[in-house]
Structure 1
Amino acid sequence: MKKRLDWLDAGKGLGMLLVMMGHADIPEYLKTYIYTFHMPLFFFLSGYLFKIEKYPNLKVFLIKRTKSLVLPYLCFSLVAYLWFLVVYYYGKVDYHDNLFTPLIGTFIDIRKSNWTVHSGALWFVACLFCTELFFYLISKIGRTNKKISFLLILLSVIGCIYNKMGGQPLPWSIDVAMISVGFYGIGYFYKEYREKLERFINFKTFIFFLLVNTAAGYFNYVLTGDRVDFYNSSLGNILLFYMAAFSGIGAFMIGIKRIKRSQALQYIGKNSIIYLALHQKIIFFLISLVMQKYVLDNVDLVDIPVIKGLLYTFTAAFVLVPAVYIINHYLPFMLGKIGREKSRDVHMNIS
């Protein structure tokens, strides 16, 4: 079982590096490309891991997923809030609302607001919980693949209509979950039909997907003027959005299965929730302070956005290794684990 999932852990690891790079100061064209598929990719991989037989009823589902997703979300949100208080005390954050607002906002979780000014990328974990809940209910109601597919499309359409009507972010990113559940479902079905689909995994198909992704992402940006961004409720042209997302996922899947085993990528993938939770608001902030004081004035090369973005990304990946060790061995409850038992399921896609 472990060998069969190595590619998936590596894929999540590479995907997480793309997420981190997307949060760094990189050129707009590169960020636009990454955003065409990197969030849909994570929902797709999460769907691949979902096993409906593990949840005989809604009560069992809610208990298990609360433990593995909601509890880590709350724990890391508390860490983010405490860090927010520290940077606020030292005048390093522009914030003028009540200091208790972000703490309460952790439970409300409305992205792009003062409720979540502290939490950064953690919106994804709450959204993933809602996405999985939607998919669980759809799978129980639909029962057959055809009915499940119909309900997934229906909910995705509703989500896109709400988005295009200027719908404001909903608590726990329910508005995004209505769209992301489609990618989650595709990941679930891919697992079922992977033997048939993997006949098409070859270099020509990779190039085809890559070209479609690049073209669709480019025209979507040119026609609408906005890059795809789930956090900012931006999809652009719906048809081009889905073309870029699915082709990007397809190219990524073919590419990651051709990469030789990478322990570094697998390590990041297995601990992706820690990297997601801590890199943006905490580690990037600390790297920025060090860069401004000791590096930027002395090394002109770092002024190049691509170099700077890569430096932030890989420095954060390395710096977070001690945090991963400490959390896994001494604070396992933050990951929804009781005790210090070791498990490969230490990541945001526990299923």
Structure 2
Amino acid sequence: MSIEASPVRILWIDTAKAYGMFLVFYGHFLEKLSDLGKVSAFLQFKFIYSFHMPLFFILAGYLSKKTNLNYKEFFRYHFTSRIIPVIFFNLLAMAISIPQDIFLGSLHLNSYLFGLINLVKGCPVYNFVTWFLVCLFTVENIHFFLSQYLNKSKQLIIFTVILFLIGWLISLKIEFVTSVTGIGKNFWFVHESLVAYLFYQSGSILKSWELFDEKRTFQFFILLFTGLIVLFTFNLNTDPFTVNKSAVIMAMSSHGNLVLFPLTALAGSLFVISLAKLTPDYQIILFIGQNTLILLGLNGLFFNFVNQWILSLINNLLTDSHLVVFEACSLLTLISLVLCIPCVFIFNKFIPQLVGKPKVSGPLLKNLL
């Protein structure tokens, strides 16, 4: 997710990340519409959430490389490229929230102290969308240590499956997240990282198999095959979930069925990746894919301050049909992404060190690495 680029970018990965980021924006509009009573919005929400976050973990695993860094160097790089952006976007959300609370007469300093304490615990309550970066940071730390001691790929795969089972069981027994303002037991998403590591490692395995180096006809086959799997399995995943909504929500450690969850997640991710492989290298799509970290943080601001307000205004104008919900959420997603573009340019130009580019220097801050 970091926009710290290697000398040669893998363009289809940028395209896949762009599709994933579209689904993040789109899915958060669906979530709000679902809360307002739109049944068709919930079904689309369940479909997208069954695979869109595993996709990002798979792509991160695909890009992972063996490193000669010692742990101090490894920690410093990943902290500055993952956690510094989390801190920045959460402080930005707090800076927006304070004047809003003053205007509404609902300012409570204790809530901001609560937010800062939880940020130290790895729980970004004021920009909860950035949970992914925290979880990815923990996943990468797990991978660093496991890869040091498990030299054989079979050992690593077996241990990955064991960690997944442990994480899945823990999520059933302990409620880590009750609401965005009610996080208590969650600590650096360690529990969810055990689950997410399965997808991270899947990305590494897919790279070793060179599955995406195959010809276009093979990609068409994967696209069709995985698309059908997702279509016929996502709504079968009905139990057990750890939140009221019967849908996969990794941020809240809600996964559902032990078999259907990873099956649908892997199939959906492969569908998006195959689609990306078949997509021409359009500059606007690549731009989105190359700036997903910034867009993730900005989406948290939309989710907190904009989405509910907009959808409350237009909810009565929308009929409860899949087509109407699709059109409305797609339009709102596109508008949101366009509105983010100036911020992407400003952040990249003036404070790149705070948004995933720790090696870049100036103009306001020195490089962090």
Structure-2-length-normalised TM-score = 0.81
Distance 1:56 1:333, change over 3 A: closer
Q: Secondary structure at the match of 1:109?
A: coil
Equivalent runs, 1:151-190 vs 2, <5 Å? 151-169=159-177, 170-190=186-206
| Deviation sequence 1:290-344 (CA, Å, 0-9, x none) | 7777xx49x9469943333122211110001010011000111212434149xxx
Q: Secondary structure at the match of 2:161?
A: helix
Q: 1:105 is aligned with what amino acid? A: N
- Corresponding residue for 1:11? 16
- Corresponding residue for 2:59? 45
- Corresponding residue for 2:366? none
Candidates 104, 108, 120, aligned match of 1:91: 104
| Deviation sequence 1:19-49 (CA, Å, 0-9, x none) | 1111113501111100010010000001111
Q: Secondary structure at the match of 2:247?
A: coil
Shift of 1:91: 2.4
Q: 2:50 is aligned with what amino acid? A: T
Shift of 1:99: 2.9
Partners in 1 of 2:219 and 2:351 — Cα distance?
43
- Corresponding residue for 1:133? 141
Distance 1:302 1:267, change over 3 A: farther
Quick check: 2:53–2:250 contact (8 Å CA) kept in 1? yes
- Corresponding residue for 2:182? none
Quick check: 2:294–2:344 contact (8 Å CA) kept in 1? yes
Partners in 2 of 1:312 and 1:108 — Cα distance?
33
Partners in 2 of 1:212 and 1:195 — Cα distance?
18
Q: 2:280 is aligned with what amino acid? A: K
Quick check: 1:83–1:282 contact (8 Å CA) kept in 2? no
The unaligned stretches of length 5 or more in structure 1 are 111-115, 342-351
Quick check: 1:32–1:227 contact (8 Å CA) kept in 2? yes
Quick check: 1:13–1:266 contact (8 Å CA) kept in 2? yes
**Percentage of matched positions with identical amino acids:** 25
| 2:98 matches 1:81 | no
Distance 1:93 1:265, change over 3 A: farther
Partners in 2 of 1:317 and 1:324 — Cα distance?
10
The unaligned stretches of length 5 or more in structure 2 are 1-5, 34-40, 178-185, 364-369
| 2:232 matches 1:212 | no
Q: 2:16 is aligned with what amino acid? A: G
Q: Secondary structure at the match of 2:210?
A: helix
- Corresponding residue for 1:101? 114
Q: Secondary structure at the match of 2:135?
A: helix
- Corresponding residue for 1:312? 332
Q: 2:361 is aligned with what amino acid? A: G
- Corresponding residue for 1:345? none
Quick check: 1:130–1:177 contact (8 Å CA) kept in 2? yes
How big is the alpha-carbon RMSD for the aligned residues of Structure 1 and Structure 2? 2.8
Q: For this pair of structures, how many residues does the alignment match?
A: 332
Candidates 80, 86, 95, aligned match of 1:67: 80
Quick check: 2:21–2:296 contact (8 Å CA) kept in 1? yes
Partners in 2 of 1:92 and 1:289 — Cα distance?
18
Partners in 2 of 1:120 and 1:129 — Cα distance?
15
Partners in 1 of 2:250 and 2:199 — Cα distance?
13
Partners in 2 of 1:28 and 1:172 — Cα distance?
29
Shift of 1:212: 1.1
Shift of 1:261: 1.3
| 2:247 matches 1:227 | yes
Partners in 2 of 1:85 and 1:324 — Cα distance?
23
Q: 203-212 or 315-324, which moves further after superposition? A: 203-212
Partners in 1 of 2:113 and 2:174 — Cα distance?
29
Partners in 1 of 2:7 and 2:206 — Cα distance?
19
Candidates 20, 24, 28, aligned match of 2:29: 24
Quick check: 1:46–1:187 contact (8 Å CA) kept in 2? yes
Shift of 1:264: 1.4
Q: 260-269 or 199-208, which moves further after superposition? A: 199-208
Quick check: 2:61–2:203 contact (8 Å CA) kept in 1? yes
Equivalent runs, 1:144-293 vs 2, <5 Å? 144-169=152-177, 170-194=186-210, 198=214, 201-221=218-238, 226-282=246-302, 285-286=305-306
Distance 1:223 1:180, change over 3 A: closer
Distance 1:4 1:109, change over 3 A: closer
Partners in 1 of 2:219 and 2:112 — Cα distance?
54
Distance 1:306 1:92, change over 3 A: farther
